[in-house]
Amino acid sequence: MHQYMQRVYDEVKARNPHEKLFLQTVEEVFESLEPIVEKNAELYEKYGVLERMCEPDRMIQFRVTWADDNGMPHVNRGFRVQFNSAIGPYKGGLRFASDVTLDTMKFLGFEQTFKNSLTSLPLGGGKGGSDFSPIGKSDAEVMRFCQAFMTELWRHIGPDVDVPAGDIGVGGREIGYLYGQYKRIKAVWENGVLTGKGFSYGGSLIRPEATGYGAVYYLVEVLKHFGETIEGKRIAISGYGNVGWGIMKKAMHLGAKVTYFAGPDGYIHDPDGVTGEKLDFILEMRAKDPMHCKPYADKYGVEFVPGTKCWGVKDVDIIMPAATQNDVNEEWAQKIIDSGVKYYIEVANMPTTNEALAMLRKCEHITVAPSKAVNAGGVATSGFEMSQNSMRYSWTAEEVDERLKVTMKNIYAASVEAAEKAGLGYDLVAGGNIAGFLRVADAMIAQGLV
Ligand code: GLU
């Protein structure tokens, strides 16, 4: 590592010794930035660019007290990490999951800054959430929790300040309850304060599908580079939330199919692909019980393999981890390498451990695409939702979808160009990190030491 980067990395490590996820992402990004920092070290050092990028603008933590349906009190922890506002208001989702800690929020906020920059929209980086999980809670409990959460959060956010959205555990229902409470407290119509809203009160068409659609648009560009098309391709994914579901749907539109998908209880193998009415069944199954995908196998008479992941299966062309962080470790990476699959397209935020990522990138028969670029279609469409709210207007589904497609093509092209310019050849991982970094660094330098 260049000595400036090494110094900053050592400081970040000393300052945050227990934050494994945050350190993992900083290390991964720094590794990619090496050639760029080497060239401009003096300038970046003079403006403290790297050390400022690794320290959030501010971190808000609060207690969320709510009562369950039996009147019993519960205390959860709420967070909002406002990471970087060099190029726009803080923007990023809220994650409600029992394993959420400040470390999770910081890793996601750091990644969000680069991802949002890649969209070329005016969006800074932020992330928030709670260690509350909506799984197994009644609708009334989720509503009370969301109201209690927003009663603390509202003073820190706003359409020009910080614009949260969904993430794991936060979908349309939660965003609705959160917006209702924000509006009640502020007594203004500021629907640009949240994205991922329902269409009736200012949500954007295509937002629920956008992350998955965007990932498939990016994949199409990768395939094009190798003279291939998506038609007839078989895809294995993990996760079947909004993101996985969007992948299944767009793959079907474009003549490909998801033949494997994994959930918390095991994986499904459907050789005919998840298409047609099966897509609606996925939604139903998830709404009833998000922890089990076995009912899909029971309903359609296909194979269910309990207690394991589908990485390493041989009869697919593309792998897309779309569940959560560190889904693929070294052991799974080896299985993926041995399977002979050619495309490893990250979709979830940081789905690969750094060690596994290094193995996959080194493997000659595999092309790796990074999640910061591949999943940026979600937040880009959130950016479109903000634009529509500002205009007090809404675009048709076709208009949004077209903008999303163009954005994903541009992200891919910018990543390819950035890697080539840095002398790295065709390296989508480094190219994505570099392209995202350059825009933020430039704005930070222009705005001085703040
Ligand atoms: N949670 C999503 C992400 O990781 C979307 C964020 C947003 O739309 O603001 O990018």
Kindly state the average pLDDT of the residues 57-65.
98
Q: Kindly give the number of the ligand 1 atom that is closest to the alpha carbon of 167.
A: 1
The alpha-carbon radius of gyration of the chain (Å, integer) is: 21
Provide the total of helices (H) and of strands (E) in the chain, helices listed first. 16, 12
Q: Kindly give the number of the ligand 1 atom that is closest to the alpha carbon of 95.
A: 1
For ligand 1, mutation pick of 105, 112, 381 (most atoms within 8 Å of CB) = 112
170-208 tens-digit pLDDT:
999 999 999 999 999 999 999 999 999 999 999 999 999
DSSP state of 329: -
pLDDT band at 1 (very low <50, low <70, confident <90, very high): confident
In the predicted model, is pLDDT for residue 356 greater than 90?
Answer: yes
226-265 tens-digit pLDDT:
999 999 999 999 999 999 999 999 999 999 999 999 999 9
pLDDT at res. 63: 98
Residue nearest to atom 10 of ligand 1 (CA): 379
DSSP state of 139: H
pTM for the whole structure: 0.97
7-48 tens-digit pLDDT:
999 999 999 999 999 999 999 999 999 999 999 999 999 999
CA 447 to ligand 1 centroid distance, Å = 26
Is 197 labeled as catalytic in the residue annotation? no
pLDDT at res. 435: 98
Whole-angstrom Cα distance, residue 429 to residue 338? 21
Spell out which residues line ligand 1, taking CB within 6 angstroms.
91-93, 165, 167, 195, 349, 375, 378-379, 382
For the chain, what is the mean pLDDT?
A: 98
CA 122 to ligand 1 centroid distance, Å = 14
Kindly state the average pLDDT of the residues 381-396.
98
Cβ atoms of 64 and 77 within 8 Å: the answer is yes
In the predicted model, is pLDDT for residue 418 greater than 90?
Answer: yes
276-308 tens-digit pLDDT:
999 999 999 999 999 999 999 999 999 999 999
Kindly state the average pLDDT of the residues 366-393.
98
127-171 tens-digit pLDDT:
999 999 999 999 999 999 999 999 999 999 999 999 999 999 999
Q: How is residue 332 written in tokens?
A: 């799974």
CA 91 to ligand 1 centroid distance, Å = 8
- Residue type (1 letter), 298: D
Q: Kindly give the number of the ligand 1 atom that is closest to the alpha carbon of 115.
A: 10
Whole-angstrom Cα distance, residue 162 to residue 124? 8
Catalytic one of 91, 115, 127, 372: 127
Whole-angstrom Cα distance, residue 66 to residue 43? 49
Whole-angstrom Cα distance, residue 83 to residue 425? 31
CA 306 to ligand 1 centroid distance, Å = 30
Whole-angstrom Cα distance, residue 258 to residue 246? 11
Whole-angstrom Cα distance, residue 435 to residue 322? 23
In the predicted model, is pLDDT for residue 358 greater than 90?
Answer: yes
Q: pLDDT > 70: what percent of the chain?
A: 100
CA 385 to ligand 1 centroid distance, Å = 12
For ligand 1, mutation pick of 105, 206, 211, 242 (most atoms within 8 Å of CB) = 211
